[in-house]
A and B are shown apart, each in its own frame.
Chain A
Amino acid sequence: GAGVSQSPSNKVTEKGKDVELRCDPISGHTALYWYRQSLGQGLEFLIYFQGNSAPDKSGLPSDRFSAERTGGSVSTLTIQRTQQEDSAVYLCASSFGMQETQYFGPGTRLLVL
């Protein structure tokens, strides 16, 4: 079946602009996760959704970052007033349940100029 999809695949923006990143999880997966992968660093957890609720937002680096999930499916990660340090690959993953294996999408490569 179809895997996790993310859009756009690449995004170049100017410092101070807002960006929205989209994630479509695997059909039937109730849990959805956002991670960030900066150059030369490991994957960093951002936020976790179970259904439409986000019980764990502990990884969001600042209040400029927010995420929502509608209909228990698609999720959007929004970064307001982007900074150069926000440049990274943003990865989305989904799993059948909270404790199950997470499957990753291809990522969105964000470059803030």
Chain B
Amino acid sequence: EDQVTQSPEALRLQEGESSSLNCSYTVSGLRGLFWYRQDPGKGPEFLFTLYSAGEEKEKERLKATLTKKESFLHITAPKPEDSATYLCAVQAVSRGYNKLIFGAGTRLAVHP
């Protein structure tokens, strides 16, 4: 069964303290892996798409990487405004290309 697992469930960082969020997946035929950010009371906001192992994408303090079994979202020198829930999702061939299978998310809190 296709599955996406994110860890940790929650992460508390001090401003400037770099860390990484993990997304591990088991899926038959990965078509793409997506990272979204969700603020309280809002819909998910698209961050990155990764398609193949070894691929990396960067945006400001965030960098996403992909292997054959997992993806990492690295946060460098985070600021309080980076506080949010970060969601990982996969789009798999076995399920058709159309739907995303989401992990439960990592709640990140960055304190000044």
Is B99 within 8 A of A107, CB to CB? Answer: no
Measured CA separation A42–B100 after assembly (Å): 11
Residue of B31, B41, B99, B102 most packed against chain A (CB within 10 A)? B99
Is B42 within 8 A of A107, CB to CB? Answer: yes
Which B residues are CB-close (under 8 A) to A104?
A: 36, 43-46
Interface residues on B, range: 20 to 34
Give the interface SS of chain A, mostly helix, strand, loop or mixed.
strand
* Closest partner residue, chain A, to B4 (CB atom): A42
Cβ of A62 within 8 Å of any chain B Cβ, yes or no, is no
B59 to chain A, nearest CB (A): 14
Measured CA separation A101–B44 after assembly (Å): 12
Is A106 within 8 A of B43, CB to CB? Answer: yes
Contact code string A74-113 (vs B, CB < 8 Å = 1, else 0) = 0000000000000000010100001101111111000000
Give the interface SS of chain B, mostly helix, strand, loop or mixed.
strand
Cβ of A59 within 8 Å of any chain B Cβ, yes or no, is yes
Q: Interface segment, B63-71, B75-83, B90-98? A: B90-98
Is B46 within 8 A of A103, CB to CB? Answer: yes
Interface residues on A, range: 20 to 34
Q: What are 19 pairs between A and B in contact, CB < 8 Å?
A: A33-B99, A35-B102, A41-B104, A43-B44, A43-B89, A43-B100, A43-B102, A56-B96, A91-B44, A93-B43, A98-B97, A98-B98, A99-B91, A102-B46, A104-B36, A104-B43, A106-B41, A106-B43, A107-B43
Additional 13 contacts, C-beta under 8 A, given A48-B98, A56-B96:
A33-B100, A43-B87, A45-B101, A56-B98, A91-B43, A98-B97, A99-B91, A102-B34, A104-B36, A104-B45, A105-B43, A106-B43, A107-B42
